[in-house]
Amino acid sequence: MYVYGLTASGSTIDAPGIGDAPVSTIEHGELAAVVSRIGSTPLRAKRRDLLRHSDVLQRAFAAGPVVPLRFGTVFESEDAVVTNLLGARYEELVALLQRVEGLAELRVRATFLEDELLTEIVREDRRIAQMRQARDANPVALGEAVAHAVASKRLQAADEAVATLSAHAIDVRVDEPREELEVIRGSFLLAQRDVSAFERSAEQFAKRQGGRLSMDLVGPMPPHSFVAFDGLRGA
């Protein structure tokens, strides 16, 4: 039995699972494990299966609170799901499900637009502008100066983004930038009633950046980045 996550008993999830297997629930008291059957072949993290895992959780989240489990969580049988997961950790899991009720995660990624940012830097920094125009300019020195200016602007914009969006959040997880022009990549946990206000703040922040930045929001979704318990962790 492949387990996608946990939800409240009585929930119905209308979605195909990994390998197009029907999704069902295994109930134990107040808890229900969202499951589907898989073959005996070891499961690999293929893109289509990762997307299907997320889609099932999203469908379950539309119906009620969800504790998402990591991709690849498998038990030998229905009895094993009850014995080794739902029953063995019942009180802990009920408390965790209650804690995430009414909460959602939104993921934010903001990235500078290279041409717009470079134009701004040249306009504001006379030294860099002169270096770009000089025939004998040292390309290494110019590159270092531009990189320093980009880093400074990225830090300033990231601080503003976190301060603005955190006002609506219960918890925040911010990752290290993966690219030179990436301003912020983070996850925000918030009450579902605050999603609209969060989205408006994100839009206002992007507008204040004057067209030099692109911003993507993903969600609301189950609180993948904020759910953890010993032995199993939100994926």
pLDDT, tens digit, 9 for 90 and up, residues 1-54? 999 999 999 888 888 999 889 999 999 999 999 999 988 777 777 888 899 999
What is the side-by-side strand order in the sheet with 67-68? 24-28, 31-36, 2-8, 67-68
Q: Are the C-beta atoms of residues 217 and 110 closer than 8 Å to each other?
A: no
Reported as half-sphere exposure (CB side, CA atoms, 13 A), residue 47 has a value of 0
Task: Report, at the CATH architecture level, how domain 104-223 is classified.
Answer: 2-Layer Sandwich (3.30)
Every domain of the chain and the residues it spans? 2-101, 104-223
pLDDT score of 234? 40
pLDDT score of 198? 94
Query: 71 or 233: which carries more pLDDT confidence?
Result: 71
Of 188, 28, 43, nearest to 94 by C-alpha is 28
Stated as kind and residue range, the H or E segment containing 186 is strand 182-191
pTM for this prediction: 0.80
pLDDT class of 235 with cuts at 50, 70, 90? very low
pLDDT score of 229? 60
Q: How far is CA 197 from CA 14, 85, 108, in A?
A: 30, 37, 14
Gap between the Cα atoms of 38 and 148, Å rounded: 51
pLDDT score of 69? 92
Gap between the Cα atoms of 224 and 232, Å rounded: 12
Of 172, 158, 180, nearest to 110 by C-alpha is 158
pLDDT score of 72? 86
pLDDT in tens, 160-210: 999 999 999 999 999 888 888 999 999 999 999 999 999 999 999 998 988
What backbone phi and psi angles, to 5 degrees, belong to 223?
-80, 65
pLDDT in tens, 49-69: 899 999 999 999 988 999 999
Whether omega for the bond prior to residue 222 falls within 30 degrees of 0, making it cis, is no
Gap between the Cα atoms of 109 and 174, Å rounded: 10
Say whether pLDDT at 107 is over 90. yes
Query: 138 or 110: which carries more pLDDT confidence?
Result: 110
